[in-house]
Amino acid sequence: MSDSDRPNFDLSLEISIESVWNQHKQNYWNQLQGMLVATPFYAEMMRKAYPTIPQSPIPKMPSRLRQIIESYAWSLFQTEGTYYPGDDPRIERWLNNLADRILEEIMGTVKDVEESGRERRLSLAHHGLTQEQMRDAAKETLRELIENRLGVPLPSGTNEGVKEAKPLAPTTAPKQSDSPEPTDQSMTEIKRRSKLLEEYKEATGNIPDYQIYNAKNAGIHKPEFYDWKKGKLPRHSVTARKFEQFLREKKPPIPRKAKD
Q: Does one domain contain both 132 and 236?
A: no
Question: Are 47 and 123 within one domain?
Answer: yes
In a domain, residue 126? The reply is yes
> Nearest-5° angle of CA 46, CA 47, CA 51?
120
Question: Range with the lowest mean pLDDT among 12-21, 34-43, 121-130?
Answer: 34-43
Asked whether residue 175 is domain-assigned, the answer is: no
| Helix ranges restricted to H, the chain | 11-33, 40-49, 62-81, 91-118, 131-150, 184-203, 209-213, 222-229, 238-248
Counting the structural domains of the chain, the total is 2
Question: Which pLDDT score, from 0 to 100, does residue 184 have?
Answer: 61
**Does the pLDDT value for residue 165 go beyond 50?**
no
Which candidate, 18, 141, 14, places its Cα nearest to that of 74?
141
Nearest to 98 by CA among 131, 141, 67: 141
pLDDT band at 30; cut points 50, 70, 90: very high
- Decide: 204 and 253 in contact? Cβ < 8 Å: yes
- pLDDT at 45 (0 to 100): 52
- Position 207 scores a pLDDT of 87
What pLDDT is attached to residue 92? 92
Residue 213 pLDDT class (50, 70, 90 cuts): confident
Rounded CA separation 107/113 (Å): 10
Phi-psi domain of 232 (left: phi exceeds 0; alpha: psi -120 through 50; beta: other): alpha
Question: Could you tell me if residue 157 is left (phi over 0), alpha (psi between -120 and 50 degrees) or otherwise beta?
Answer: left
Residue 84 included in any domain: yes
What is the residue range of 221's domain? 184-248
Residues 103 and 20 in one domain: yes
| Predicted confidence (pLDDT) at residue 49 exceeds the cutoff of 50 | yes
Report which of residues 42 and 218 the model is more confident about.
218
Q: Please check whether residue 164 lies inside any domain of the structure.
A: no
The larger pLDDT score, comparing residue 15 to residue 255, is at 15
Instruction: Please determine, for residue 80, whether its predicted confidence score (pLDDT) is greater than 90.
Output: yes
Q: Could you report the per-residue pLDDT of 169-188, keeping only the tens digit for each?
A: 333 333 434 444 455 667 88
Residue 54 falls inside a structural domain = yes
pLDDT at 174: 36
Q: Which whole number is the average pLDDT over 47-64?
A: 67
Residue that terminates a domain, selected from 94, 129, 150:
150
On the CB side of 161, CA atoms within 13 Å amount to: 10
